[in-house]
Amino acid sequence: MKAHCHPAIILIAIVAGNIPLSAKAKTIVLDLDVTPPAGKLSVTQIPKKPTAFVIDEPAMLSSPQKAEIDSLLSKANDVPTYVVLKKGKLPVTATLYGNELLSRWTGKAKGYSAMILLTNSSIPELFIIIAGRRIDDPTRNDLLQLGTAALSLVNGSPAQFSEIIRLAEGLSGALNTFSQISDHNASPPVKVSGSQNREPATYSVPVTGTIQSTPNKRGKTSQWDLLSSRLDWPLIQKLIIYLSAVILPLITVLILRRTRRHRPLFFPIHKPRHRFNAPYSGGSNAQIKYVND
Amino acid sequence: MFDPEDIFSPGRFHCPGCHATLNKPSNRCPHCGFTAEKCIARFPFEPPPLRRLMDPDKSLQTYQKKRLSKSIARLEKASPQITVSFCSLYLPDGVDGRQFGYWLLNRCKPESGLDAKNRLHHLLILVDRNHKTVSTSVGYGLDCFLDDMTLHQTLQRCREPFIHKGFVEGSIHWIDHIRKELPSIHEKAQADWKHRYKKRHLRGKRLDTADPKKAQQIGRISTPRPRSLASNSSKQQLDNKVHA
């Protein structure tokens, strides 16, 4: 595979150009999670490994377009690449979902795999997920820098997809080189060639928070990861603050009142009013009959 | 020490013999001539020791005893000064429960000095199963707060449970009712005490400016704080002079 014609990266431009994305759909997240999570999603939530490289649930692509993309992707044997257009809301975050699909479809035999995942939710997002294994830290950092550069460029000027193509060429070169290194068990990372040199300023963009840069530390996806991705944390935080501000003082007041009410009562001591020479009590007139007359 | 009349609104007394209302405490009833000697002569036997539950006829079931004991324990916990006895008896005809309660409360020998001190804050519930009556008696330490009127009113309020559920359930209901009433009674007592104390303190100050000798005498008499507040933690620090 040539360094400048990696089909997955080219497809980014094709898909992005063909699919009518709304104004909110210009986020591209480059996920370089080299250890795809073995998630605990149910079987119904993960589709089976497709025969084609294109899955188009919302039928956004025409048949010739699908055929063209599929033929391009089928040539990329070294780096299996899928184009997944998902309909509706994803059960978990797109990055988790994409990594899960990649890990199940490509397995561990392949050094690298990539996916372009487009979610067709109320806020459509485009994810480019590249899963790689046996990548050392410097190499991963190089990839992250490339991805960050692409991200910043897309965020800054969303209409210029030609710039993405140009960066994608550089990225494809890097991916291809990494793939070759992986095949030959070469450990030292390779500096990215040509295309990087053309845009040195772009590649010096620091890694941003949108890129997940701690893949090896995460290990397997726990049930908590899946659950927490569904929770609305800002709402929960607001609720906690509200509860703390309103209910805790209320509880404190109630506890104080209860404590005050249940404190032991001591009556004042006074001089006894002795009568009938009785030492302890002068008797009482309190009496009732407990039967009906 | 203050006299009760100095601090609290003085309650009326009743003769245990004829139940006539007396305005002043005396050793002999001006109406019927009732005296302690006459009362002792009427019940010429040694009473049993005053326990929490007294049931000489074994008329109470075990679970009833447990429930009564629990209810009494809650009242005693709410006000640690107070000790409570429940006595269920079959009194012969012609014997009044109130008079018998008076005799029992005074005649039972205290087991110790502490018991004698606590007797002043004792509350006796006496059930006469023969005449189907419930009467209550309190010691001198409580009769300013739980006076005859209060006790009678609370008994009247709890009459329905006595009639419909029996004297055990009625007594439990009454004890719980008294326990719930105690905070307001206590609050009133404290407020009265503060009010009277301030009044006396101010009067002492005024006299101090006018006549230093008289003020010195008052200063010796006046008490700095209610003794119950100063000795909340222990019953042993209750007034010794009363029992001397």
CA distances from A74 to A8, A49, A69, B80 (A): 10, 14, 9, 89
Lowest pLDDT segment from A71-75, A176-180, B171-175: A176-180
- Mean pLDDT, rounded, for B36-59: 89
- Which residue in chain A has the smallest CA separation from B135? A287
Residues A55 and A190 occupy one common structural domain: yes
- The whole-angstrom separation of Cα B12 and Cα A6 is 108
- Asked if A259 has any chain B CB less than 8 Å from its own CB, the reply is no
With beta carbons under 8 A apart, name residues in chain A contacting B189: 267-268
pLDDT of A5 reads 45
Please give the radius of gyration of chain B, using alpha carbons only, rounded to the nearest integer.
20
Tokens of A56: 């188009």
pLDDT in tens, B56-70: 999 999 999 999 999
Of A266, A279, A284, the CB nearest to B14: A284
Are A232 and A95 members of one domain? no
Top mean pLDDT of A78-82, A110-114, A251-255, B204-208 is at A251-255
What is the C-alpha to C-alpha distance for residues A113 and A76, in angstroms, rounded to an integer? 10
Residues A143 and A184 placed together within one structural domain of the fold: yes
How many A×B Cβ pairs under 8 Å? 179
Cα of B152 to nearest chain A Cα, Å: 4
**A65 and A153 fall within a common domain:** yes
* Beta-sheet strand order (sheet of A286-289): A286-289, B133-138, B122-128, B83-89, B53-54
Give mean pLDDT, residues B5-26: 75
Which of the two residues, B130 and A126, has the higher pLDDT score? B130
Q: What is the DSSP letter of B26?
A: -
Cα separation, A28 vs A21, in Å, equals 12
Asked if residue B240 has pLDDT above 60, the reply is no
Choice between B98 and A15, residue whose per-residue pLDDT is larger: B98
Q: What is the pTM of this model?
A: 0.51
B35 and A277: CB-CB below 8 Å?
yes
Greater pLDDT, A56 or B243: A56
Closest CA to B155 of B77, B101, B94: B101
Instruction: Return the top range by mean pLDDT from A228-237, B179-188, B196-205.
Output: B179-188
- Provide, as residue numbers in chain A, all residues whose Cβ is less than 8 Å from the Cβ of B109: none
Q: In chain B, which residue's Cα lies nearest the Cα of A274?
A: B25
User: In this complex, do B186 and A267 lie within 8 Å of one another by their Cβ atoms?
Assistant: yes
Q: How far is B212 from chain A (nearest CA, A)?
A: 28
Work out how many domains chain A is built from and give that number.
Answer: 2
pLDDT of residue A91: 73
* Position A287 in a domain: no
Q: Which of A218, A249, A267 is the last residue of a domain?
A: A218
| Averaged confidence pLDDT in chain B | 81
- Is A284 close to B26, i.e. CB distance below 8 A? no
A284 found inside a domain: no
Neighbouring residues of B100: CB distance < 8 A, sequence distance ≥ 6 = B43, B89, B91, B126, B128
Rounded to the nearest angstrom, the minimum Cα separation between A254 and chain B is 17
pLDDT in the model for residue A212: 41
Worst-scoring range by mean pLDDT, A6-10, A108-112, A140-144?
A: A6-10
At residue A135, the pLDDT reads 59
CB contact under 8 A, B1 and A261: no
pLDDT tens across A144-175, in order?
Answer: 666 666 556 555 544 433 444 444 455 555 55
Closest CA to A113 of A193, A186, A49: A49
* Whether residue A117 sits in one domain with residue A230: no
Q: Cα–Cα distance between B1 and A271 in angstroms, integer?
A: 7
For residue A277, is it within any domain? no
CATH topology of domain B11-181: Diaminopimelate Epimerase; Chain A, domain 1 (3.10.310)
Same domain, A103 and A60: yes
Nearest CA in chain B to A268: B228
Burial class (CB in 10 A: 0-12, 13-18, 19+), B43: middle
Assess whether A237 and A213 both reside in one domain.
no
Please state which of the ranges A62-76, A140-154, A234-248, B152-166 shows the lowest mean pLDDT.
A140-154
| One domain, residues A26 and A114 | yes
CB atoms A281 and B139 under 8 Å: yes
If you search the block for the tokens 């009277």, which residue do you land on? B196
Q: How many CA atoms lie within 13 A of A109 on its CB side?
A: 6
- Give ∠ CA B32-B37-B39 in degrees, rounded to 5: 65
Please indicate, yes or no, if residue A280 is contained in any of the structural domains: no
pLDDT, greater one: A278 or A193: A278
- A115 and A228 together in one domain: no
Nearest to A283 among B119, B137, B238 (CB): B137
Mean local confidence (pLDDT), B133-161: 90
Predicted confidence at residue A261, as pLDDT, reads: 76
CB contact under 8 A, B242 and A272: yes
On whether both A188 and A254 belong to a single domain, the answer is: no
Q: What is the largest CA-CA distance in chain B?
A: 68
Mark whether A211 and A81 lie in a shared domain: yes
Three-point CA angle A176, A178, A180, nearest 5°: 70
Q: Which of A262, A274, A280 to mutate to test the interface with B (most CBs of B within 10 A)?
A: A280
Segments forming the whole domain that contains residue A39: 7-218
Specify whether A129 is located in the same domain as A31.
Answer: yes
Token representation of residue B143: 């009769």
Stretch B153-181: mean pLDDT, rounded?
93
A286 in contact with B at a CB cutoff of 8 Å? yes
